[in-house]
Amino acid sequence: MLDGLKNLGNLGSLMAKAQEMQTKFKSLQEELAKKTVIADAAGGMVQATVNGRLELVKLRIDKSKVDVNDVEMLEDVIVAAVAAAQARAAETMKAEMGKAASEMGLPPGILPQ
């Protein structure tokens, strides 16, 4: 029964290590939030730029490729470009966080998705 208490002396160092990892991940998240990802739709008709927080920060519409009589298509293309940029940014952030976790010696899949 007392065998489980043997490692209580390591509790302080484990807590310090956990705090250090938490600080590193927070810093990495802040750094990644500043990065941007670009995706387009409909052959470049619409280009969306999203940051690491998955926020739309820029939208470009190529007027030469837009049919002013088909507003619904333009709306759909905008949604598609934004969704593609957000998906690409999320995948990039996930990969970077996984890489950082691996460098810290954490097993794959330990971070929440």
Confirm whether 9 is domain-assigned.
no
**Beta-bridge partner residues of 46:** 41, 61
Number of domains in the chain: 1
Give the burial class of 30: count Cβ atoms within 10 A of its Cβ; 0-12 exposed, 13-18 middle, 19 or more buried.
exposed
Asked which of 17-21, 47-51, 60-64, 66-70 is least confident by mean pLDDT, the reply is: 17-21
Confirm whether 96 is domain-assigned.
yes
Confirm whether 37 is domain-assigned.
no
Q: Check pLDDT > 90 for residue 64.
A: yes
Say which residue, 88 or 10, is predicted with more confidence.
Answer: 88
Confidence (pTM): 0.76
CA quadruple 33, 27, 18, 106: dihedral sign: positive
pLDDT-derived band of residue 54, with 50, 70 and 90 as boundaries?
A: very high
Confirm whether 112 is domain-assigned.
no
In this prediction, residue 28 carries a pLDDT of: 84
Domain residues for 75? Answer: 50-61+69-103
pLDDT-derived band of residue 99, with 50, 70 and 90 as boundaries?
A: confident
